[in-house]
Chain A
């Protein structure tokens, strides 16, 4: 039972990170029907910026509180990533908004490659370590172990997701976003500045991605210019699983995917008698993606597929 609890915890942490990144995919898709493949790279930039700032601060030999240094790194990551998210939309997607969908998709992939290589040029090809600034406390729950960092990741993700739901369902800005998602032209006629709303969507997505990036690098203790690629694909899968374009769906999809991966990798060896091994961990995500696309293309909480098809 303790193993089950432990895999549950592993899955929840992984799932919260996927969910945060998946929100960025789903928000952009909801409004523009565009898959922003550069979103994974924004996450990577978040991690890299945070580590660069942390590195610069610790290099001064200050004995400031570790938490404070990480908080500074995180805020720097969020600021840079929001600007990056804004610029990506402005430079790469806005000029192509009326172009065929394929053109936008190709630009998205191109943007992803550009960002990846830019990061490689800036920070090099080697792994960058997250310095041990955060005091690690372990709690024992019936044989399973949960660390303060894991609790923090789950709580912060939930908080951010709840905040986002409130923003979209209860505020003027949220109403404008929903209106733009339903019918861009009509929303424009109603006095909504569509360009601003789209920019805001990208900025919010990028900020969430930055937080997720910092979480990943702190959790695994590593960052690398290539880390955004796989994370982006997994989060995209999570968004599709939950129903792309649906905010609550992305959260559900992210959590589910994290759990599927964790339990899958943990139990597949025993269940198949060693025929399939735990190196299939990454395969689960894409197996789920294929299943969803075949059985229920609209995803678990998907909507509006009929009118869009």
Chain B
């Protein structure tokens, strides 16, 4: 943007400085021992400043809670008592900064990383952790690409967009009884990715995709495409995109007298959507990865522990908490905090976490992760039900 050569230089200089600092502190390594005690550093990266700072701090607090509990209960690895130390870094939700802080953590010889918060930062940082052989567990990145790069160090404890799309497609056909489905997306990586998965799942469940229409993430007029869709008489319209388009779309759908149900993904399941769509939002269904906190197996207990210490839970804190515990569990199994040793154990971990049962598939995605469906009732998002990733078992609520 502003003089690439200069920026590149700054980054290199920064990395060099960090490398030097890391060298000078070489005694504090992963397996640094003081007395009979060993210090193990675990990195945590999220945006701690900027517009998403509230979410970033939430992840940091969740991870911190897990670290402190493990220290209190006492973990012994290789015959030595372990003291875990959380090293939190701020990536300001920016992909470039993400790679810089990732390198910083690698240089500080962390045993593993919890993060990053966003898909856009987790993906570029994952290469750096992979090159260094350090396991990374993201609490909240959902883009399919994150675990599709073939990096065996990348894991996540939140359901990805492929699983979300599958659940949405199956739900549309099986539960909402839609036979004729129209799909619209905004041609962004997120919207298109999600819509493609919904398309596949609808067809696989025996539904028919009667229209595939497109818009952009800046449009406000959808009447032409909705009219074209109306002519094909759909039972349900799915939109893969964000709230700023979803809201006027719902409104125009109704003004055309199109009786079809409206379904969206997590881009639509927001408070902003309710504000923008107003009374038109009534009856809209949308999904979001994960369970609502009160339905999580350890949700109520976690909420109490967390709020006593840090205040209100924003969103992803329970996932950050579980991510730390899964990492520690793998270390216990390997009886070592050496990344190369416990990385092999991570895919074999089975843990009943706060957010649900956690185990990973071959790619590092969570097995059978949960997707929760919400519907607007009385101007609020009400939980309809939670579907586990495979779509086989459903936990009814309400």
Interface residues of A (CB under 8 A from B): 2-3, 6-7, 10-11, 14, 126-127, 129, 131-132, 136, 138, 140, 145, 147, 220-222, 226-227, 230, 261-267, 269-270, 274, 277-279, 281-282
Binds A, one of B71-79, B214-222, B304-312, B359-367: B214-222
Partner of A6, one of B211, B227, B247: B227
A3 touches B224 (CB 8 A): no
| Residues of chain A lying within 8 A (CB to CB) of residue B257 | 138, 140, 145
CA distance A269 to B252 in the complex (A): 20
Give how many B residues have a beta carbon under 8 Å from the other chain's beta carbons: 31
**8 A Cβ contacts from B223-274 to A:** 223-225, 227-228, 230-231, 244, 247-248, 251-252, 255-257, 272
B275 touches A129 (CB 8 A): yes
B278 touches A132 (CB 8 A): yes
CA distance A133 to B226 in the complex (A): 24
Given contacts A14-B221, A269-B213, A282-B216, 7 further A-B contacts (CB under 8 A): A3-B230, A6-B256, A138-B255, A221-B276, A262-B227, A266-B225, A281-B219
CA distance A222 to B187 in the complex (A): 21
Min CB distance B315 to A, Å, is 20
| Residues of chain B lying within 8 A (CB to CB) of residue A131 | 278
Interface centre among B215, B223, B225, B248 (most CB of A within 10 A): B223
CA distance A269 to B218 in the complex (A): 20
Partner of A278, one of B215, B248, B279: B215
| Residues of chain A lying within 8 A (CB to CB) of residue B214 | 277-279
B224 touches A136 (CB 8 A): no
B256 touches A145 (CB 8 A): yes
Asked whether any CB of chain A lies closer than 8 Å to the CB of B303, the reply is no
Min CB distance A230 to B, Å, is 7
Q: State the majority secondary structure of interface residues on B.
A: helix
Interface centre among A2, A222, A261, A264 (most CB of B within 10 A): A222
| Residues of chain A lying within 8 A (CB to CB) of residue B221 | 14, 220, 281
Asked whether any CB of chain A lies closer than 8 Å to the CB of B212, the reply is yes
Min CB distance B247 to A, Å, is 7
CA distance A278 to B219 in the complex (A): 12
| Residues of chain B lying within 8 A (CB to CB) of residue A266 | 224-225, 227-228
- Please, could you name 27 A-B residue pairs with CB atoms under 8 Å apart, sorted by A? A6-B256, A10-B223, A10-B227, A14-B221, A127-B244, A127-B247, A129-B275, A129-B276, A131-B278, A138-B257, A145-B257, A220-B221, A220-B252, A221-B278, A222-B244, A222-B247, A222-B276, A265-B228, A266-B225, A269-B211, A277-B213, A277-B214, A278-B215, A278-B228, A281-B215, A281-B219, A281-B221
A262 touches B223 (CB 8 A): yes
Min CB distance A117 to B, Å, is 18
Q: Which residue of B lies closest to A230 (CB)?
A: B218
Min CB distance B191 to A, Å, is 11
Q: State the majority secondary structure of interface residues on A.
A: helix
| Residues of chain B lying within 8 A (CB to CB) of residue A132 | 278-279
Min CB distance B217 to A, Å, is 10
| Residues of chain A lying within 8 A (CB to CB) of residue B216 | 279, 282
Q: Which residue of B lies closest to A280 (CB)?
A: B214
A147 touches B255 (CB 8 A): yes
CA distance A135 to B15 in the complex (A): 61
Partner of A222, one of B220, B223, B224, B225: B220
Contact with A along B278-297 (1 / 0, CB 8 A): 11000000000000000000
Q: Given that A6-B230, A7-B224, A129-B275 are contacting pairs, would A274 and B244 also be in contact in the complex, using a CB cutoff of 8 Å?
A: no
| Residues of chain B lying within 8 A (CB to CB) of residue A127 | 244, 247, 276
Interface centre among A2, A129, A147, A279 (most CB of B within 10 A): A279
Q: Given that A145-B255, A281-B219 are contacting pairs, would A269 and B275 also be in contact in the complex, using a CB cutoff of 8 Å?
A: no
CA distance A125 to B110 in the complex (A): 39
Q: Which residue of B lies closest to A220 (CB)?
A: B220
A3 touches B228 (CB 8 A): yes
| Residues of chain A lying within 8 A (CB to CB) of residue B279 | 132
| Residues of chain B lying within 8 A (CB to CB) of residue A281 | 215, 219, 221, 224-225
Interface centre among A227, A266, A269 (most CB of B within 10 A): A266
Min CB distance B196 to A, Å, is 14
Min CB distance A154 to B, Å, is 14
| Residues of chain A lying within 8 A (CB to CB) of residue B276 | 127, 129, 221-222
| Residues of chain A lying within 8 A (CB to CB) of residue B251 | 220-221
Min CB distance B284 to A, Å, is 15
Partner of A220, one of B230, B231, B248: B248
Min CB distance B242 to A, Å, is 11
Min CB distance B219 to A, Å, is 7
| Residues of chain A lying within 8 A (CB to CB) of residue B219 | 281-282
**8 A Cβ contacts from B175-215 to A:** 187, 211-215
Min CB distance A201 to B, Å, is 29
| Residues of chain A lying within 8 A (CB to CB) of residue B230 | 3, 6
List 4 tightest A-B contacts by C-beta distance, closest first: A265-B224, A279-B214, A3-B231, A10-B223
| Residues of chain B lying within 8 A (CB to CB) of residue A2 | 231
CA distance A10 to B272 in the complex (A): 27
CA distance A174 to B272 in the complex (A): 48
Partner of B224, one of A138, A230, A278: A278
A3 touches B278 (CB 8 A): no
| Residues of chain B lying within 8 A (CB to CB) of residue A265 | 224-225, 228
